Amino acid sequence: MPSIVTQAIVLRHADYREHDRMLTLLSPSMGRVEAVCRGCKRPQSPLLAASEWFTLGEYVLYAGRGRLNVSSCNVAESFFPLRTDYERLKYATYILSVAEAAAQPGDRAVELFTLLARSLSRLAYTDKDAQAVAAAFLLHFSAISGYRPRLSHCVRCGRRMTDDEIRLMDIAEGGLLCADCQSSLRPARPLSPAQARWMRDVLARGIDKTDMPPSDAPGAVLSEYVETRMEKPIRHEGLWR
């Protein structure tokens, strides 16, 4: 089998034998990829940087011993500042976990790869609020995954809602909930008008251009929304303020 050349981001690594690591990669063309990085833990190994979490680069893979192996890597970005700021590291690790849970082997993941790379760059190299960046990742992730939340109309009756009416978001149905449609049998989460405006503006303009206060980012609601849709809970103790 010829070598495979692909861009990838390291989502996870695990020790494998004495000097090796098993890498979980996100490739825009191949989706989630498991590959062995042999000898990367040896002193002065040229593959050590390629086997670290967050690393983005061009990976050369080959098939051998029944699995893919990393032959070489041209590292483009390590997002090193994440390793020196625990607050930002928490959110970066969380969005990696979301990407890992969502990506499937063999499925193209161009939009997810681009969204993850840009979000890691914002966390590493800008002073943007880390929670707001992670919330924006979740919001855009929901959009590219096909379950963008409905933020103008009641998700049950379809009536257009004014900002003054916004009080709840139905996690299961995926949108705002008006007072007439509330039911104790269908749980909903509190959502303020400011949080709804933040989501609408970030979806329309992006996190880089929005002038909405980062404190309005509904991280806890969005994490529950995304994880419910994926049916894969992800640990995030103490993440959302």
**CATH assignment at residue 160:** 1.20.1440.120
Residue 11 and residue 122 share a domain: no
Residue 88 and residue 186 share a domain: yes
Q: Measuring CA to CA, which residue among 209, 239, 215, 226 is closest to residue 141? A: 226
pLDDT at 1: 60
Contact 92, 53 (CB under 8 A): no
Q: What is the pLDDT along the chain (241 residues), one digit of tens a residue?
A: 679 999 999 999 999 888 999 999 999 999 999 999 999 999 899 999 999 999 999 999 999 878 999 999 999 999 999 999 999 999 999 999 999 999 999 999 999 999 999 999 999 999 999 999 999 999 999 999 999 999 999 999 999 999 999 999 999 999 999 989 987 667 789 999 999 999 999 999 999 999 999 999 999 999 999 999 998 889 877 888 7
Number of alpha helices (DSSP H) and beta strands (DSSP E) in the chain: 5, 8
Give the pTM. 0.95
Q: Examine residue 240 and state whether it is found in any structural domain, yes or no.
A: no
Residue 100 and residue 63 share a domain: no
pLDDT tens for each residue of 125-151: 999 999 999 999 999 999 999 999 999
Domain end: 59, 80, 101, which one? 80
Sign, Cα dihedral of 104, 108, 113, 115: negative
Q: Examine residue 35 and state whether it is found in any structural domain, yes or no.
A: yes
Q: Examine residue 239 and state whether it is found in any structural domain, yes or no.
A: no
CA distance 169 to 41: 47
Contact 172, 238 (CB under 8 A): no
For the chain, the domain total comes to 2
- CATH number where 58 lies: 2.40.50.140
pLDDT tens for each residue of 83-98: 999 999 999 999 999 9
pLDDT at 184: 65
Q: Where are the beta strands (DSSP E) in 120-231?
A: 168-170, 175-177, 189-190
Residue 95 and residue 143 share a domain: yes
Q: Examine residue 238 and state whether it is found in any structural domain, yes or no.
A: no
Contact 38, 45 (CB under 8 A): no
Residue 188 and residue 70 share a domain: no
pLDDT at 236: 79
Contact 105, 32 (CB under 8 A): yes
pLDDT at 16: 87
Residue 23 and residue 10 share a domain: yes
Residue 42 and residue 100 share a domain: no
Residue 123 and residue 65 share a domain: no
Q: Examine residue 226 and state whether it is found in any structural domain, yes or no.
A: yes
pLDDT at 170: 94
Residue 142 and residue 120 share a domain: yes
Query: Domain range spanning residue 120?
Result: 81-230
pLDDT at 60: 98
Residue 181 and residue 151 share a domain: yes
Domain end: 28, 62, 80, which one? 80
pLDDT at 134: 98
Q: Examine residue 235 and state whether it is found in any structural domain, yes or no.
A: no
Residue 177 and residue 122 share a domain: yes
Q: Examine residue 153 and state whether it is found in any structural domain, yes or no.
A: yes
Which residue is associated with the tokens 């009756």? 157
Contact 58, 73 (CB under 8 A): yes
Q: Examine residue 190 and state whether it is found in any structural domain, yes or no.
A: yes
Domain end: 34, 50, 80, which one? 80
Residue 117 and residue 159 share a domain: yes
pLDDT at 66: 80
- Order across the sheet with 168-170: list the strands: 175-177, 168-170, 189-190
Percent of the chain surpassing pLDDT 70: 99
